[in-house]
A and B are shown apart, each in its own frame.
Chain A
Amino acid sequence: MADDVTTSVAASPATSHPQPATAGRASAARPAVPARGGRRAASSRVRKRLEIAFFVTPALAIFALFVIWPILTAVQLSVYRWKGFGPLVDFVGLRNYVSVLTNEVFTDSLVHNLVIVVMSIVVQLPLGLAIALLLNRKMWGQGLLRTIIFVPYVLAEVIAGVVWFQLLQPQYGVLDTIMAAVGLQGPAQGWLGDPDVALWTVIVVLTWKYLGLAVILFLAGLQGVAEELYEAAQLDGASWWQVQRRITIPLLGPTLRTWAFLSMIGSLQLFDMVWILTGGGPANATTTMATFLINEGTRRQNFGIAGAASVILFVVALVMALAYQHFILRRDTRPDDGGRRAARPRKEATR
């Protein structure tokens, strides 16, 4: 996403200098370019305004109604004690926030989310990159293989979750059976029943579900690396590994960074898979912020608590996104060593 902003900003000549993290907004002050065919009378400007309004209003209306308004309402609910009926009268200030942040279930959820964010990237990045590099060659059945790799990603999380739930059952689950056949034994309460193991099991299933996306995106990024670079490197006597390390991976930089961003946001919002696999259990060992707030909001009718949890979830996502964007922008505007070089060719191309 961050790349989007930079690209579109960089593409317009008026604002090609490096932008701070809040870039997009700044260019609102861009000098108005005279309309094609010369500046006309004021009526033409009014007409233009009306046209813009005509095009943007429907999207903005449903966005405001179904996204912005509910979020603002969540903020409002977060300072009341409210059980879902009657007027909002029981103003409690920040007490909901205090009670959420001192609730061990929630802080554990936050930690689970962060573990999932980190593990998703740490596991899927090298694994996805390795598979993508290996598959980025003419080989028999390549198209079929790419399709196969894409399968878990297009499955609904719920459906993947239901299938895995069966595979992971203790005793009659297929995983335990296979392990027993080679003399190993899974946890006694099952992979999803043991509080020490459950979160890691969920992470394994998530890896299965989303590794394919990483591979496909990386492969698509690899297609963008110009053939001539490989040829030149080969003529210079570079080995396969050198070519990957010095050319391919750096040029893949923007793809990798934005994939990691998408992965991070997805991990922070995780709900479906956990809800199906464990429902947050056992003993709250796999709760996420999303399962916490759904639980509070819809099962216990603690709308104020759920509101506060929503706001905290959003703030966490926003802070991490801004930090990440800042990180990306720094890399994209100051290309000097190592992986930073990655940004340069792309930047030049957009100018």
Chain B
Amino acid sequence: MTAVVTAPPSTPPAPGAEPRRRRGGAYSGGNPLVYCIALVVAALTLGPVVYGVLGGFRTNAQLAQAPAGLPDPWVLTNYTGVLTNPSFWQYTWNSVAIAVITTAVVVVFGVMAAYPLARYEFKGREGLFMVFVVGLLFPAAVAIVPLFILITQNLQLGNTWLGVALPQAAFALPMTVVILRPFLMALPKELEEAAMLDGASRIGFFWRILVPLSGPGMVTVGVLAFVGSWNAYLLPLLLLQSDMKTLPLGVADFSSEHSADTAGVFAFTTLAMIPALVFFLAMQKRIVNGLQGAVKG
């Protein structure tokens, strides 16, 4: 019945859009103006990124002569220079290791903490949850100086992967718990009852039923934690030196040390961002789901 709905004849089309068939979305487009706006938005969004990528294919002379020009001829030396730079690979490796540790800690500890907060009835449950919610308000910057002292002096973890990954995980926990709790709450009670009738303990229920079922939620929080760690700057800046640095630090250093070599900076920056960009865009749905989860609860 609704398949044959057409535009109500009395409706004057609003400027910029005509109400017509809108199956599957809202009002359907096809309006040239909408495509124009979309193109402008896309160009403004991608412009700086594309410029950086192309800049890496140019020489500094080309860049100086015509800043807004295209590579002519295309040169690969900037990119090969970065790819044969052992520091680049060392930074990449550090970034990967720290992000993996952070993600693992966040996901395991996060789902464990979210489980009782979601599915146990106990005194102080909401209070405990509030501890994590309030934790969302703490920027790492607030605690950064004591954190620096704690890690470098008390724990002797300065300039190590763990020294960065553990605090990062701790700061990512609130978001994780806040996202995972409603997710675990939404799993039907009957599952738990059935498991109990079959003689499973609550811990057995957790491992055998809850963890497998909450896979999508854990992937989401895992991706968020990974992105956060991969892009982090402040904590690595204070804690990591020389060949323990991560890619963002490497990029920032390279750009200030080689400020005259603009093309080299573009190449370094491009290579630092492209793999992550591909991965994150592939995981886009998960990231959006996670952020939405945080928005909606």
Q: Which residues of A contact B (CB under 8 A)?
A: 1, 3-9, 11, 24-28, 30, 32-33, 35-37, 48-49, 51-52, 54-56, 58-60, 62-63, 65-67, 69-71, 73-74, 77, 84, 131, 134-141, 145-152, 154-160, 162-167, 172-174, 176-178, 181, 208, 212-213, 216-217, 220-222, 225, 227, 230-231, 234-235, 237-241, 243, 248, 254-255, 258-259, 262, 265, 268-269, 271-272, 275-276, 289-290, 293-294, 297-298, 303, 306-307, 310-311, 313-314, 317-318, 321
> What are the residues of chain A within 8 A of B37 when measuring CB–CB?
131, 134
Q: In the complex, A162→B27 CA distance in Å?
A: 40
Pair A154/B14 contact, Cβ less than 8 Å: no
Q: List 11 A-B contacts (CB under 8 A).
A: A58-B113, A70-B147, A71-B142, A73-B143, A137-B34, A149-B45, A156-B232, A159-B269, A240-B18, A271-B233, A290-B139
Q: In the complex, A36→B194 CA distance in Å?
A: 11
Pair B295/A258 contact, Cβ less than 8 Å: yes
Q: How far is the CB of A185 from chain B (nearest CB, A)?
A: 15
> What are the residues of chain B within 8 A of A1 when measuring CB–CB?
133, 136, 178, 294
CB nearest neighbor in A for B135: A67
Other A-B pairs beyond A146-B284, A156-B231, A234-B8, 12, CB < 8 Å: A5-B130, A52-B120, A67-B135, A70-B143, A73-B149, A74-B142, A137-B17, A150-B281, A174-B67, A176-B67, A217-B288, A222-B26
CB nearest neighbor in A for B151: A66
Q: In the complex, A48→B49 CA distance in Å?
A: 53
Pair A234/B19 contact, Cβ less than 8 Å: yes
**B97 near A: Cβ within 8 Å?**
no
> What are the residues of chain A within 8 A of B117 when measuring CB–CB?
56
Q: A155-B273, A156-B231 are in contact. Are A28 and B124 (CB under 8 A)?
A: yes
Pair A66/B142 contact, Cβ less than 8 Å: no
Selected interface stretch from B76-84, B169-177, B214-222: B169-177
> What are the residues of chain B within 8 A of A269 when measuring CB–CB?
139-141
- Number of residue pairs across A and B with beta carbons under 8 Å? 377
Which residues in chain B, 116-147, are within 8 Å of chain A measured between CB atoms?
116-117, 120-133, 135-147
**B63 near A: Cβ within 8 Å?**
yes
Q: In the complex, A338→B27 CA distance in Å?
A: 24
Q: How far is the CB of B160 from chain A (nearest CB, A)?
A: 14
> What are the residues of chain B within 8 A of A221 when measuring CB–CB?
292, 295
Pair A137/B25 contact, Cβ less than 8 Å: yes
CB nearest neighbor in B for A224: B296
Q: How far is the CB of B16 from chain A (nearest CB, A)?
A: 7
CB nearest neighbor in B for A289: B141
Q: How far is the CB of A117 from chain B (nearest CB, A)?
A: 13
Determine the main DSSP class of A at the interface with B. helix
CB nearest neighbor in B for A265: B137
> What are the residues of chain B within 8 A of A306 when measuring CB–CB?
145
Q: How far is the CB of A88 from chain B (nearest CB, A)?
A: 11
Number of interface residues of B (CB under 8 A): 130
Pair B49/A155 contact, Cβ less than 8 Å: yes
Pair A262/B137 contact, Cβ less than 8 Å: no
CB nearest neighbor in B for A290: B141
> What are the residues of chain A within 8 A of B16 when measuring CB–CB?
134, 240
Pair B48/A208 contact, Cβ less than 8 Å: yes
> What are the residues of chain B within 8 A of A51 when measuring CB–CB?
116, 120, 202-203
Pair B233/A157 contact, Cβ less than 8 Å: yes
Q: How far is the CB of B95 from chain A (nearest CB, A)?
A: 10
Which of B142, B232, B262 has a CB less than 8 Å from the CB of A172? Answer: B262
Q: A1-B136, A318-B137 are in contact. Are A67 and B171 (CB under 8 A)?
A: yes
Q: Could you give, for residues 1-37 of chain B, a 1 whenever the CB lies within 8 Å of some chain A CB and a 0 otherwise?
A: 0100101101111101111001111111110001101
Pair B116/A52 contact, Cβ less than 8 Å: yes
> What are the residues of chain A within 8 A of B28 when measuring CB–CB?
137-139
Q: Could you give, for residues 30-64 of chain B, a 1 whenever the CB lies within 8 Å of some chain A CB and a 0 otherwise?
A: 10001101100110111011011001000000011
Which residues in chain B, 141-200, are within 8 Å of chain A measured between CB atoms?
141-150, 166-167, 169-171, 173-174, 177-178, 181-182, 185, 192-193, 196
Which of B14, B123, B234 has a CB less than 8 Å from the CB of A271? Answer: B234
> What are the residues of chain A within 8 A of B105 when measuring CB–CB?
62
Which of A74, A135, A158, A255 has a CB less than 8 Å from the CB of B233? Answer: A158
Pair A33/B29 contact, Cβ less than 8 Å: no
Pair B133/A4 contact, Cβ less than 8 Å: yes
Which of A145, A177, A240 has a CB less than 8 Å from the CB of B67? Answer: A177
Q: In the complex, A303→B45 CA distance in Å?
A: 40
Pair A243/B297 contact, Cβ less than 8 Å: no
Which of B68, B115, B141, B181 has a CB less than 8 Å from the CB of A8? Answer: B181
> What are the residues of chain A within 8 A of B108 when measuring CB–CB?
58
Q: In the complex, A63→B148 CA distance in Å?
A: 15
